[in-house]
Each structure stands twice: as structure tokens, then as C-alpha cells.
Structure 1
Amino acid sequence: MSFSFFDKLSQDYSELLNDKKEYNVVIEVDKEENKKSFTSHSVVLRYRSTYFTKEIENIATNENHVKTIHKPNISTQIFETILKYVYSGIVNIENIETKIIYELMIVANELEFEELSEKLESYLVESKASWLRTYFSRVYHSIFDSNRCNEFKYLKRFYNDIITKHPNLIFESEDFTSLQEAALISILEKNNLQLEEIKIWDYVIKWGIAQNSSFPKNLEEWSEENFKTLKTTLQQCLPLIRYFHISEKDIWEKLKPYRNILSMQLWDDLNQKIIFPNQPVKSLVLPERIISNPELPQRINERISTIINEEHIAEISSWIDRKSTIYSLTNIPYKLQLILRGSKDGFQPKTFWNMCNGHAGTVVIAKVAGTDEILGGYNPLAWDNSKTQETYMKTNDSFIFSLKNGNIQNSILSRVKNKSCALYYYGSDKQKTFGPCFGGSEFLLQSNVSEFTKDKRCLCLFLNHLGFDFYEKSIRKTNAGFSIIDYEVFKIAKK
């Protein structure tokens, strides 16, 4: 029989960290006024990290037999956490910003504390997926390095899945143009990138122009030198575009203005393909990207919905089919396919527009904070995030609803009354504030701080006194704004 006393061992080693009597290593971190020195023991550092083994061997001792390591790129806060882990094996991330946890993972990886780095990486993927999506470019930029292919494998797998299924989350992110070239190339190389080729071209041009801030804003003012510079900037990206799978219209409208950055042979071959489609060309013809069905599979080991149950699904299904009675649970003709869930994918309005773009026949479900209310709406049309100006969308088949739940004893169905104003699609400049909107805000998710759970700006207005009754009835008893605790968007598909 053996007895383990790891807690006491950890506590004693923690005390050793504060013992200034026999230290022989000083580690200086951070810069300028934040610079701080930490004392440590070479024997502990060497046995805990191969990085410090190499560092200590290559540094000479001073007259006091002390070695000094300089790490100005590591913040004091991060290194304090690292040293506590080194001596005690404990890392407490409770109440720490996700950004700091991420930076801690990067530093742990740099200092070759594999156990800690992998644990933090796993935590971020499992618990902070929303943050990882929001700051895609920043994180992807940091972890992407083809020479370190075995590192950050969980994050790379996580992002590869996003890149394939939801490329708009990358290309339309605020910091897309700061993406390093190698990372952009890795995205363009994907055969199953779920995006039209002409849109990929547009984003590549946008990225290239952003790397050359001195270019004139008006393309007509560009000089020959501007085009040469852009061609040089994009020399690794341009060969990855699937040119021969772009429509004739887009070739003339989108490629022709930039034909000077293409080789003469490629431009001639594109023209030849239009006039003589069956004739072989000299340029390399890459295969067309594999665009799969946009329907998203249900995630493994996950309930269809965390907000509604089977009875609710039966009720919504009967409303879609305009049935006078509710479908039985064994006779529901539809299945729900999850597109996004706020608690996993984030509550930013822009996330809604990016992830739901192109999906038709969807239902939005929201759980109101502080009440038992479950609100929602059905949209038979495809969501569209490409509009430059907001516009009403016309349909006779949309509806909004409140579902029975807890203290809410009866469901409310409200069908569209003014089909010309069934839905309101916001322009790209307002998609950071406004999410899905049915009618004249009769069901609207919005937030002035880009977080549906924060500032009670969501609405279910019924403005009958102003004549704006776009739906039959109100689905709430108040016009007061509210926040939500979660929301989901599903595609409705036939079983």
C-alpha cells in the first residue's frame, strides 16, 4: 500500500518559489515600466521544461553565480501564472479574461510546457468557441505555422471546420486583411471551401489592396505600377483561384478590371473558353470546389435544441403547414438542423448574418432573460448578408410566435398580415447591431453593444396605434426591450 501527499508537496514547492535564499536564476519579463524580475532555481526549471534546459545551458553566470534570462515579450501577469504552475502544478483561470487565457496558452507553448498548453487549448475549444470565432484572424495568425504542424492540433481542427463550413466568418471579419499570407494561402488551397469562386476572388483582391495602403481608392486612378505591385503581393494567391469555374458575367465584371495582374496566357485562355468552350487551354485548370449541401448536421451527443422540446417542434411544424390541429409527436413531418446556437457560436449580430446567410426555411428561437418566454419566428426566404441597404422582404408564409413554457400557459401564433413587409433585412453597415427582424420590429434581436444578452435592446413591438401592424397580433404583453439568455436558428427540413 502507498500513500500520496501531492497536495502537501505542491504547497511546499509553492513556498520554495518565494524563497530568496538559494535562487540561481533571474527571469526578467515585460517592458519598460511593467518590467519585473522573478527569482527561480535552475534545477526546477530544467526538470519542468526542455526550453529552460537549453536556455540555462547557453547563459553565463555572473559574479554571484546567477544566470539572467530576458523575456520582454511575456507579460508580468502571464509569467506569474507560469511560475506558479512550474512550482505547484496549479493554474487557476477562474474569472480570467479569455484573451489572457489564450495568451497564457501561447506562452506555455513557447516555453515548452506541453501539458499546460494542451490543457488550455482544449479548454478554449470546448468552452470558449464563441470567442475563438469572434477573433478568428488573430488566433489563426498566431497558431498558423507549417513548420509546427504538430502544435495546436485541436485549434487547427476547430478552425479547419469553420473555414470549410462558414468561410464568411473569416472573410468578413474586421481583421481579415491582417491575416498573414501563409494562412490565407492555406485557406485558398481547400477544395471544399463553401464559397462561390468569384467571392473568393473578391476577398483575395481586398486582402491584396489592404497590404498596399498607398493605392488610390478609385481603380480608374491606378497606375501601371499599382497593378504590378498588387500582382507581386498576390503572386502566391493568384494561382489558387479556380478561374475556369467563374461565370462569363463575373469574368467581365470582376476579373477584367484587374486583368493586368493576370498572365496574358490565362486571360487569353479565359476568353477562348468563353468562345470555344470545348477547346483545350494551355493554362492549368484547377478542379471546381466541392460545395456541399448547406444543411448542417446535428452535432454529436447534443440535444436538437436546448430551448424547445418535441411538443414545440410539432406545434411549429403544424403552423408551417397551416394545419388546424397540432401534429402528433409520432407524425412530425419536419426535422430541425442546427445552424447556430448563441451559447456556442456567440451572440454578436454579425455572427447571425454570417452563419445564416443563404439558408432558407429557417426558424429563429430565443429564450428571454428573466422570464419563461420562448419567442421566435419562421422565415421561408433565404437570409442575405450581402445587401448594402436595408430592405423589406416579401412573403405570405412567415410567422412569429410565443411558445407555452413554465408560467406561459398558451402559445401565440401571429401570421404575417402585410406580406410586403414580412421581414426586414439590414444592410452590411448595420449588421453589427441588428440581427433577425420580422415586420416592423414585431420580433427583433438587436444590441447596441453587439451582444444580444447584454443591453435589453431586443424587441417585440406591436405598433397598432401607429398603423404598423405587419403581423396579426402581438406575441408579448409589453413593448419593453429585453435581453436573451440563448437563441438558436434551425433549418426546417423534410424527414
Structure 2
Amino acid sequence: MVLNFYENLSSDFIELLENGNEHNLIIEVGESSIKQPFKVHSTVLCCRCPYLYDEFKNSTISNDDNIRIIQKPQLTAKIFNIIIKYIYGATVNLEKVETSVIFNLLMTANEFQLKELMTRLQTFLIENQSSWLKLNFSKIYNSSFQTNNLKALQNYCNDIIAKHPNLIFESTDFNTLPEAALVSIIQRDDLQLEEPKIWDYVIQWGISQNKIVDDGNDFQILKNTLQLCLPHIRYFQISGENIMEKVFPYRQILDENLWADILNYSMAPNKTITSKILPPRKIFATQLPNRGYTFQITSSIINIEQATEMAFWVDKKEVTYDINNNPYEFNLILRGSRDGFQHEVFWDLCDLKTNVIVVAKVKDTDEIIGGYNPIGWNSNFYHRPSETNDSFIFSLKNGNIKNSILSRVKNTGRAIYNNPGYGPNFNNDLWMDGTQTFKINSRDCYENLIRKTTGGFSIDDYEVFQIKKR
């Protein structure tokens, strides 16, 4: 009979860490102004974290007590405290920990080669924080391919991209996509993208890596850059017209035998082909809206669940819509990171546009705020309010934010304010006050405050959509 006392063992090692008795190493984390020391034991690291143990062996003795010191200025004390307690006690408490911190914890676990922790954290994020992953999709996708150890996260992202390729191919970060990520997605048979478009995106990505293609030498550079991508293009599934229009200008990056086979296949299909012919991709037929329409949205801030919740608010329904039965199309007309954050940009693109939704991601948080303006902003009404009964402002459920907050207009005569000196403006309740800054001063015209605190706050990005019934 074997009696296990793992819980006591774990708590004893945590106590050893917290007391620091007989420690022979200090790990300092954080910048110099907020540096925090952790007293640890090399024998524990030897068994539980060989990565840090190797750093211990390579460090130098820094004081008279034969204590060695390792500095980790890039780490926060919050992250390292969780990591070191896992190393000592094999426990991780994720309660009340922001999802963004959990993701940073995963990346640190990867750096420290803590495979068990990496596996558990990936599973936790995928099973419990899928909305946050989708909202920060571009960042997550790029980060997961910076290493070969995050396979679960890579596969999760690729499954989504195969169905919704616009998330990556139309993102502002596409040209910075790691090569391994691009290869992993274009090799999939179920990528829902036409082959000529895939070719265009691959060429765009290749050119952006070197700013090239002016002469013959540049074509060789492009060929070298795309050597892992080119074998996954389904050349023999591209029409002859698209071959001449899209592939022909870049024929020099293809092997001579492959180019000859492509021409033969298009113009003399009975001739023998020696190049490998990849099967056509499994493109699923797009159904009519009333027979299983799949709602999609091009956004770096909100996901389809959040857009569906907004549609429910717009129509003032008692029962929310199904995510695949959203009655509106969301057409992106402005993205700050793409078009600019200046108020002149907002008025150039959004003046006189009706039925618009504004969303903004608060800087360095999971928080998303925004508003709906059915009548639009009008530069002809300079420094004057506009009246509507149907506008509202909101904050969205996301990550650690348990519930959305909807605040409908109560002072209808001053619901919208038109001032070309600012961006989108829902009077004093929410408006864009300067570049990448929003402000909430009071609860003048809308029912509820959508943030716990008033005043100005910075944003990472904001988007404006014009919605219309399908």
C-alpha cells in the first residue's frame, strides 16, 4: 500500500520558498525602479527548472555570503511569483488573474521550458478564454509561431483561420506573420480561400519581407524567400486566365519544369505532367442567409458573439440572435491603426454616415467600450447636438469582464454631439478627445455609466462600422 502526501509536500516547499531559508540564489525581476528579489534554492531548480539552473551555474557570486544573483528585468514580479510557486509547489492559482497575464505567463513558461505548465495553460486558454483569444487573434497567432512548443494554440488558431481566413490575410499584421505560420495555413486542404487570392497574399508577404522585385536579381531573392511556401500553392487548380494575369509576372520564381507543366496543363491538358498536382481545396458552399448563413466580421477588436449582441441591442429584441443569424452586415469604414486616429480622419470617412457603431479597446486591458449612432454625425451641425431616441453606449463582456453594460439614451435631444474638433461624440457620456484618447465626464444623456471611473483613458485601437440589414 502506498500513501501519498503530495499536498503537504507542496505546501512545505512553498513555505521554504517564502521563508528563503538556506537560499543560495537571488533572482531579481523587474526594472531597476521596481526591482523585486526572490530568494531561491539551486537544488530545487536543478530538479524542477533546468533552464534557470543553467543560468545559476553561469552566474557569478555577487556578495560575501556566496549568494549568486540573476537579473530578469523583462519579467514582472506578478508573472514570476506565479512561475516560482509552480516550480516549488506544482500549483498555479489562476483565480482573478487577467487573461492577458495568463497569456504572458504561458510565454514565460515557454521561455523557461516548463512543458507541463505550458500544456495546462494552453488547454485553459482554449477551453475557458476563447473569446479573449479571438479578440486578440492576430497577436496570439503571431506569438504562438515564435516557438515550436505551442502546438495546441497553433492548431486552435489554424482551425479558426481555415474557416475565417480574413482574420489573418486581411489583418494589418499579415506582412509580419512568421513564415512557419503562413506555411502551416496555406498547406491546409480546408482553407476557405480561392487559390488565386492565396497566390496574391503569398506574393505580397514575400515582397514585404525584402521590399523587392525590380529586376532579375530581386526575383531570385523572392524565390528564396518563398521556397517553403511555393510548394503548397495549388497551381493546377488556377484558371488559365488567372495564370496569365497573376502567376505569369512572377514565373521566374518557379522551377522551369513546374512552369512548363503549368502552361501545358492550361493549354495542352493531354500532355504528361511530371510535377505534383495537389488536390483542390475543400471549399464549403456559401448558403443563403435563411438557410444557415454564417455571419462574419472584419475586426481586430470585436468578435462575432459581441457583434451579435450589438445587433440584439439595435433591434431592441427580448431574445438574442443566434451568432450565425445576425441580421446585419458590419462594414468596416475606419480603423485607427490603419487609417489614423486624428479627428480629421474620422470626419473624412464617417461624416453623414448613418447606422454606425463605434468600438474601442482600452489600452493594455480586455475592456471594450463603444456606442451606436443611428442618425450619424453631421459636420453641417457644427457645435450642435442631434436628436435620436435609439442611440446607446456600452461596454462589452470580455475576458474578466463578466457582463456587458448597455446604456440607452435618456436625454434624446442631446444624444449626439457634432464637433469636427473631436472624433465620435456621444455628448459628455462618451467621446473621443484627442488622438487615441476617449473620455467619460458624466451621466448626462445616457442611463448608466459604462466604466467604473470617469475621466480620460487611452486606447489601443478603435473601429467604426456601418451596419445594414442583410
Query: Do the structures match in fold with TM over 0.5?
Result: yes
Normalising by the smaller structure, the TM-score range is 0.5 to 0.7
Kindly provide the amino acid, as one letter, of the partner of residue 368 in structure 1. Answer: W
Q: Distance in 1 between matches of 2:131 and 2:287?
A: 21
Per the TM alignment, residue 125 of structure 1 is displaced from its structure 2 partner at its CA by 1.0
User: How many equivalent pairs are there?
Assistant: 373
- The structure-2 alpha-carbon separation of the partners of 1:115 and 1:286, relative to structure 1 and needing over 3 Å to count, comes to closer
C-alpha spacing 1:291/1:88, structure 2 compared with 1 (3 Å)? same
d(CA) in 1 for partners of 2:368, 2:161:
28
Q: 1:233 to 1:249 in 2, by over 3 A?
A: same
1:120 corresponding residue in structure 2 = 121
Q: What is the root-mean-square deviation in Å for CA atoms of aligned residues?
A: 4.9
Distance 1:248 1:51 in 2: 55
Q: Which amino acid is the alignment partner of residue 478 of structure 1?
A: N
Distance 1:430 1:83 in 2: 39
Hey, what does 1:483 align to over in structure 2? 394
Report the equivalent of 1:192. Answer: 190
TM-score, normalized by length of structure 2?
Answer: 0.62
For 2:283, which of 288, 291, 296 is the aligned residue? 291
Native 8 Å contact 1:432 1:450 kept in 2: no
Task: Name the CA shift for 1:127/1:270 in 2 (closer, same or farther; >3 Å).
Answer: same
- In structure 1, the partner of 2:169 is 171
Matches within 5 A, 1:208-357: 208-213=206-211, 215=212, 222-294=214-286, 339=295, 348=301
8 A contact 2:286–2:293 mirrored in 1: no
Q: What's the secondary structure of 1:211's corresponding residue?
A: helix
Larger CA deviation: 200-209 vs 179-188: 179-188
Map residues 364-379 of structure 1 onto 2, 5 A cutoff. 366-368=311-313, 373=318
Provide the rounded CA distance (Å) in 1 between the counterparts of 2:29 and 2:324: 55
Q: SS of the counterpart of 2:210?
A: coil
Matched to 1:168, the amino acid is N
Aligned to 1:457: 371
Show CA shifts across 1:365-384 (max 9, x none).
83339x8755779999xx9x
| Aligned counterpart, 2:439 | none
- Per the alignment, residue 24 of structure 1 pairs with 24
Deviations 1:283-322 (A, max 9, x none): 33222222234569xxxxxxxxxxxxxxxxxxxxxxx9xx
C-alpha distance in 1, partners of 2:84/2:41? Answer: 11
- CA shift, 1:189, in A, is 1.8
Measure how far apart 1:250 and its partner are. 1.7
Specify which of 153, 156, 160 is matched with residue 155 of structure 1: 153
User: 3-state DSSP class of the match of 2:19?
Assistant: coil
Note the alpha carbon deviations across 1:246-295, whole angstroms, 9 max, x for none.
12222222223323323343333333333222222343322222223456
1:98 aligned residue: 99
Distance 1:79 1:379 in 2: 41
In the alignment, the residues of structure 1 paired with residue 88 and residue 324 of structure 2 have an alpha-carbon distance, to the nearest angstrom, of: 57
Give the letter for the 2:372 counterpart: C
Letter of the 1:26 partner, please give it.
Answer: I
> Unpaired runs of 5+ in structure 2?
340-345, 347-351, 378-387, 398-403, 405-470
Determine if contact 1:30/1:76 at 8 Å carries over to the other structure. Answer: yes
The letter for the 1-side match of 2:130 is A
Offset at 1:179?
1.7
Task: Look up the SS of the partner of 1:105 in the other structure.
Answer: helix
Helix, strand or coil: the match of 1:458? strand
Q: Aligned with 2:311: secondary structure?
A: strand
SS of 1:109's equivalent? helix
Partner in structure 1 of residue 41 of structure 2: 41
Query: How far 1:81 moved relative to its partner?
Result: 2.4
| TM-score for both structures, normalised by structure 1 | 0.60
Deviation at 1:200, TM superposition (A): 0.7
- Taking a change above 3 Å as real, the CA distance of residues 176 and 453 of structure 1, as seen in their structure-2 partners, is same
Distance in 2, Cα, partners of 1:195 & 1:165: 9
Report the counterpart of residue 414 of structure 1 in structure 2.
Answer: none
Asked whether 1:82 is paired with 2:27, we answer no
CA distance in 2, matches of 1:295, 1:136: 26
Q: Post-superposition shift, 1:84?
A: 3.3
**Unaligned regions of 5+ residues in structure 1, if any?**
297-319, 321-333, 357-362, 384-398, 401-422, 435-439, 464-476, 488-495
State percent identity of aligned pairs.
36
Secondary structure, counterpart of 1:449 in structure 2:
strand
* AA aligned opposite 2:394: S
CA offsets per residue over residues 79-130 of structure 1, 9 Å max, x none? 1221233445554445544332111012223334444333322221123223
Change (3 A) 1:458 1:276: same
Q: Distance in 2 between matches of 1:453 and 1:53?
A: 39
SS, match of residue 371 in structure 2: coil
| Contact 2:135-2:300 at 8 Å conserved across structures | no
